[in-house]
């Protein structure tokens, strides 16, 4: 039951797949009516074959694949090497034959009737009694034991036995030695299907299945073919098709057995070149002749080069070709005359002959050209003379009609213009439409030549009453266009500078005394040179590059002791650095706000979250470039809306539950001291911003 099930499954799959292939081939086939109409072009077929397979464990599938490669190699030998030499022998051309490896002996070993491996395999599958893979191997040893390309563990010498199992046999293919394990050969080859199952499938409601299982098979008493025989017959049909065509080959060389790019195994490549017949093919081509053509074709093409063969040769073709090549000065080593063809050894000889033919063609056609040109020019002169007379008559009449038409149109145009001027103050109507359209067009043409060249140029031509609204729209559009062009022309560095300046303006304009002094000064990319930043700090930051650095003074939250630090800004956080190490890291996401005073001092308070008991509290800093620092920090942290400018005191968190204050006053010079109440007292100098 299991075998019947498997056989039915394989039959359904195989036949439906064959049905699908046939349907595709029918749809791709060139229809007969297209051939009869003469519209069909030459058909090109592409055959992509699987390569030679040598695996760790080679079974029935690899045996069939390598058998296919043997047949194709034999076809290659017959169509190239053998046919090349046979042509020379047929034409009676004396030359030294090139020996080559003929794998017909291997193909016969596999496919020969009653003696080949496939025949033995089929016989073992069909014979009565107990059969197994080992009995098949023993029968191969009995039948093929003396064959030079067949080896088994029993027939091999001691050296080969060490690398072969008792269930394997070895074939010496053209591309190398392959060991095949006979385990499963009989099961894979045995593809018989019970007639009762075929009859059931013929009665299937599925149209495809009923088509694949024909009813004639039920009554057919012929023994069904095995899988290997089916494969051999299919391969024979392919060989017949290829032999009837003119094939061209693309040989693929496997560079290595490791499937690695850029690696070439010289021994493996040399082995493939040797057994693919490439060296023999090259030797045949080099020993042979580059050009061959039948006598009649050669004489028909090149007979104008010899006076004795031009225009026609009336003797034997061989004598005509001999006369022609002697006139052309061919040397004995350059050509050979066969029974029906001429063989030219060197391409250079043929190229020189073609050059001579090209040089002769102008002389041959010179007489024809002279007569034809004279006839053509006389006929052309008569046609031109007649055409000139007709054109002159027609053109004179047309000029007179056009002149009268232009005068009528000019008179009507003047009437329209005058009538439109009279009704120019009325609404748009048929009486004044031409005049108003003319005025509008004149304004637009004048405007196109006098458009403002810059955003600051406010000159704009005065529009007519009918174009006031359109003029306003055009003025706005032109202004937007100039602004867009100006923005696109700004360099990335300057755009970045302006972005920062605009952000600083939104945060500090009319709110901080020192802002007007920062407006004419450019914001620098960094206030610290690269060598001023400690290398250990840069290594600690890793992939987070320093985007801005500045020297600041940090005030302790309790005693307000001054400590000189470096404030470094990256894309995701800021750090306070003390010479060689990072003292504090400030995550932008944790920053709750930035507070500065409205005076001209440089005090900055960075408000940090105080829910955690371990949190140190807010950070109090002093920087001489306070506008630049706060702007860059707010943009990087995306906290432009969290900048607080206080006109009085600034409250900051010392620790959880404790707060401190910074009081600001104006004075003659800047000072930062601790006040009597424990507050930090900051005196900011007066600034004259006028």
Tell whether 546 and 450 lie within a shared domain: no
Tell whether 133 and 151 lie within a shared domain: yes
The pLDDT of residue 411: 93
How many independent structural domains does the chain possess? 5
Q: Is the residue at 653 inside a domain?
A: no
Quote the CA–CA distance of 253 and 273 in Å, as a whole number: 8
Tell whether 283 and 159 lie within a shared domain: yes
Task: Give the domain-ending residue among 422, 442, 463.
Answer: 422
CATH of the domain at 581: 2.30.29.30
Tell whether 366 and 299 lie within a shared domain: yes
CATH of the domain at 108: 1.20.58.530
Give the angle subtended at the CA of 275 by the CAs of 270 and 280, to the nearest 5°: 95
Cis peptide preceding 311, ω within 30 of 0: yes
Backbone angles phi, psi at 236, to 5 degrees: -65, -40
Q: Is the residue at 688 inside a domain?
A: no
Quote the CA–CA distance of 618 and 590 in Å, as a whole number: 11
Tell whether 397 and 465 lie within a shared domain: no
The per-residue DSSP string of 249-313 comes to --------SS--TT---HHHHHHHHHHTTHHHHHHHHHHS-SEEEEHHHHHHHHGGGSTTTSS--
Strand partners, 57: none
Tell whether 297 and 358 lie within a shared domain: yes
The pLDDT of residue 148: 85
Tell whether 279 and 320 lie within a shared domain: no
- Positive or negative torsion for Cα 393, 394, 400, 403: negative
Q: Is the residue at 428 inside a domain?
A: no
Q: Is the residue at 352 inside a domain?
A: yes
The pLDDT of residue 98: 57
Question: Is 239 within 8 Å of 75 (Cβ atoms)?
Answer: yes
From the centroid of its chain, how far is CA 421?
A: 67
Q: Is the residue at 329 inside a domain?
A: yes
Question: Is 596 within 8 Å of 604 (Cβ atoms)?
Answer: yes
Q: How far apart are the first and last CA of the chain?
A: 108
The pLDDT of residue 239: 84
Tell whether 152 and 274 lie within a shared domain: yes
What lies within 8 Å, CB to CB, of 617 at 6+ separation is 557, 608, 610, 652, 653, 654, 655, 656, 658
Within 10 angstroms of residue 189's Cβ, the number of other Cβ atoms is 22
Tell whether 382 and 407 lie within a shared domain: yes
DSSP state of 79: I
DSSP state of 129: S
Tell whether 74 and 104 lie within a shared domain: yes
Q: Which of 326, 315, 343 shows the shortest CA–CA distance to 92?
A: 343
Q: Is the residue at 49 inside a domain?
A: no
Q: Which of 599, 626, 598, 619 shows the shortest CA–CA distance to 683?
A: 599
Its domain, for residue 4, covers 1-43+197-221
Q: Is the residue at 343 inside a domain?
A: yes
Tell whether 175 and 259 lie within a shared domain: yes
Q: Is the residue at 173 inside a domain?
A: yes
pLDDT along the chain (690 residues), means of 10: 82 89 84 58 72 82 86 76 65 61 80 85 78 83 85 82 84 84 83 74 85 74 76 86 78 84 88 72 64 70 74 72 73 65 68 74 79 91 94 94 94 90 85 88 89 86 87 91 85 86 89 88 88 86 89 85 90 88 88 91 88 72 91 90 88 80 87 83 78
Tell whether 141 and 268 lie within a shared domain: yes
């Amino acid at each position: 039951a299991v075998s019947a099930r498997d056989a039915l499954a394989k039959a359904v799959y195989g036949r439906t797949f064959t049905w699908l292939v046939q349907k595709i081939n029918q749809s791709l086939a060139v229809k007969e009516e297209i051939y009869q109409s003469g519209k069909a072009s030459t058909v090109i077929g592409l055959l992509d074959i699987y390569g030679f397979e040598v695996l760790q464990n080679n079974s029935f599938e690899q045996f069939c694949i390598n058998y296919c490669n043997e047949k194709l190699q034999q076809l290659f030998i017959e169509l190239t090497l053998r046919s090349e030499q046979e042509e020379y022998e047929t034409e009676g051309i004396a030359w030294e034959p090139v020996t080559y490896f003929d794998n017909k002996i291997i193909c016969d070993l596999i496919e020969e009737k009653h003696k080949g491996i496939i025949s033995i395999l089929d016989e073992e599958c069909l014979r009565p009694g107990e059969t197994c893979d080992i009995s098949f191997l023993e029968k191969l040893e009995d039948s093929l034991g003396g064959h030079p390309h067949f080896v088994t563990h029993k027939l091999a010498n001691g050296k080969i036995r060490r690398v072969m199992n008792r269930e394997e046999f070895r074939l010496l293919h053209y591309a190398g030695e392959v060991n095949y394990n006979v385990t499963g050969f009989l099961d894979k080859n045995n593809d018989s299907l019970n007639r009762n199952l075929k009859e059931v499938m013929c009665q299937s409601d599925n149209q495809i299945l009923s088509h694949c299982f024909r009813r004639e098979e039920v009554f057919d008493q012929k023994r069904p073919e095995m899988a290997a025989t089916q494969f051999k017959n299919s391969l024979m049909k392919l060989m017949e098709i290829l032999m009837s065509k003119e094939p061209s080959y693309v040989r693929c060389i496997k560079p290595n057995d490791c499937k690695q790019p850029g690696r070439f195994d010289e021994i493996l490549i040399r082995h493939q070149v040797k057994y693919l017949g490439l060296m023999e093919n090259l030797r045949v081509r080099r020993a042979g002749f580059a050009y061959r053509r039948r006598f009649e074709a050669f004489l028909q093409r090149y007979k104008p080069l010899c006076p004795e063969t031009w225009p026609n040769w009336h003797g034997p073709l061989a004598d005509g070709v001999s006369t022609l090549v002697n006139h052309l000065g061919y040397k004995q080593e350059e050509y050979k005359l066969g029974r029906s063809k001429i063989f030219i050894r060197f391409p250079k000889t043929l190229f020189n002959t073609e050059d001579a033919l090209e040089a002769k063609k102008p002389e041959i056609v010179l007489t024809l050209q002279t007569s034809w040109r004279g006839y053509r020019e006389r006929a052309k002169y008569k046609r031109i003379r007649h055409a000139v007379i007709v054109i002159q008559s027609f053109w004179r009449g047309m000029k007179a009609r056009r002149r009268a038409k232009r005068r009528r149109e000019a008179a009507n145009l003047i009437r329209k213009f005058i009538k439109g001027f009279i009704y120019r103050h009325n609404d748009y109507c048929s009486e004044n439409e031409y005049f108003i359209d003319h005025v509008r067009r004149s304004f637009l043409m004048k405007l196109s030549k006098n458009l403002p060249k810059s955003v600051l140029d406010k000159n704009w031509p005065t529009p007519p009453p009918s174009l006031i609204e359109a003029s306003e729209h055009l003025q706005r559009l032109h202004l937007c266009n100039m602004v867009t062009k100006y923005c696109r022309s700004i360099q990335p560095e300057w755009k970045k500078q302006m972005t920062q300046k605009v952000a600083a303006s939104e945060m500090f304009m009319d709110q901080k005394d020192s802002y007007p002094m920062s407006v004419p000064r450019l914001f620098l990319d960094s206030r610290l040179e690269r060598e001023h930043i400690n290398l250990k700090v840069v290594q600690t930051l890793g992939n987070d590059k320093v985007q801005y650095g500045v020297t600041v003074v940090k005030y302790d939250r309790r005693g307000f002791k001054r400590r000189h630090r470096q404030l470094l800004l990256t894309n995701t956080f800021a750090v306070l650095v003390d010479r060689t190490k990072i003292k504090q890291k400030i995550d932008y996401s944790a920053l709750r706000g930035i507070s500065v005073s409205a005076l001209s001092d440089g005090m900055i308070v960075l408000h940090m979250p105080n829910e955690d008991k371990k949190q140190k509290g807010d950070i109090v800093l002093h920087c001489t470039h306070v506008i630049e620092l706060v702007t860059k920090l707010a943009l990087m942290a995306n906290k432009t809306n969290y900048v607080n400018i206080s006109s009085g005191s600034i409250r900051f968190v010392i620790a959880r539950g404790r707060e401190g204050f910074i009081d600001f006053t104006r004075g003659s010079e800047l000072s930062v001291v601790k006040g009597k109440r424990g507050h930090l007292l900051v005196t900011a100098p007066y600034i004259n911003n006028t």
